[in-house]
Amino acid sequence: MAKFNLENYETVEDRLKAFWNENPNARLSTEVVHMTDDGTCVTIIASVFKQEDDARPVTTGIAQETKGQGGFANTDAWVENCETSAIGRALANWKYQGSNKPRPSQQEMSKVGNDTVDVTKVDKRKKENKPSEEVKAITEESIAKFEEDIGYNKETSLNNAKQIAKIIDGFGLADDIKDKVKSKAWKQFIGAGHNKDVEEWDNDTIGAYLDLFESLIPEFEPSNDTDIVEDVFGEVTTTVVRTCPECNSPDWIEDNREKKASDERFAKIPSWSCSTYQSNKGCGWTAWGDTDCPKEWL
């Protein structure tokens, strides 16, 4: 049997250092999307945001760990280990996987040791080891739809089917995209020889199916042209034409903020004006401070 060397795999800590170095204003957040009633099996999703205030993540990563399985780290710290793996997967799903090293992180490949990874800049908002209200609110209709898609027998236990449906909904995809990804992932997964009976799947099989599902998402999500251009050429800036809110003319707008700040003689003039000074033919509109002008001007 072939052996692998852990030194060939990049650590999550290495990925985080590169990530924060290149994205100092970014944000990482993690959330428990599923936990068994006895707390011994947890699934966590990590989300990567280019900017701290971004509403939509640039990528996500999911990991699942079970207490006592997969090495010493999961004896007492399976939740922490799961969060670290999810972060590593999310970073790899974007562009932080190393140029000459395999995609999985050391934390994924080795479930041993009790070293912890410094994720100081990870979102520090309170995270409890239970699903959020949003995840709890996932409807039975969504679960039933997944069962229908996979031809599941509803007379038997629904634990695995419910868990998979909740995790898939945790990706936050539009319903039409989610259905397309789900359909293709299911056909490929069963076509590869996996058991059609979802309740017979173990944690590794569930993880493999979710990995496939996640890998297919980019095929169906609409591309963001701005993101593509930024990845190649750097940040794209947008030029805003300042048009007077009163007369709709862009010709006579004056930004006096720098002048006011640098010379006390101009301290009492408006911050913005549609100038009528000398030969200017503005309408005389004025604004004081940054609250009276259109937000896109700032």
The amino acid occupying position 200 is: E
The amino acid occupying position 233 is: F
The 10s digit of each residue's pLDDT in 30-72 is: 999 998 888 889 999 999 999 988 888 998 989 888 888 866 6
- pTM as predicted: 0.38
What is the rounded CA–CA span in Å between residue 114 and residue 80? 10
β-pairing verdict for 286-287 and 41-49: unpaired
% of the chain exceeding 90 in pLDDT: 10
Q: Rounded to the nearest 5°, which phi and psi values hold at 30?
A: -130, 155
Mean pLDDT of the region 96-119: 49
Cα separations in angstroms, 216 against 174, 181, 185, 189: 14, 6, 7, 12
Exposure of 143 by Cβ count < 10 A (0-12 exposed, 13-18 middle, 19+ buried)? buried
Cα separations in angstroms, 260 against 215, 266, 293: 54, 5, 16
Mean pLDDT across the chain: 75
What is the rounded CA–CA span in Å between residue 22 and residue 18? 6
228 has pLDDT over 80: no
Give me the DSSP letters along 86-136: HHHHHHHHHT-S-SSS-SS-HHHH----------TTB--S---SS--HHHH
Q: Copy the structure tokens of residue 176.
A: 């039409």
Q: Are 194 and 207 in contact (CB under 8 A)?
A: no
7 pLDDT tier (thresholds 50, 70, 90): low
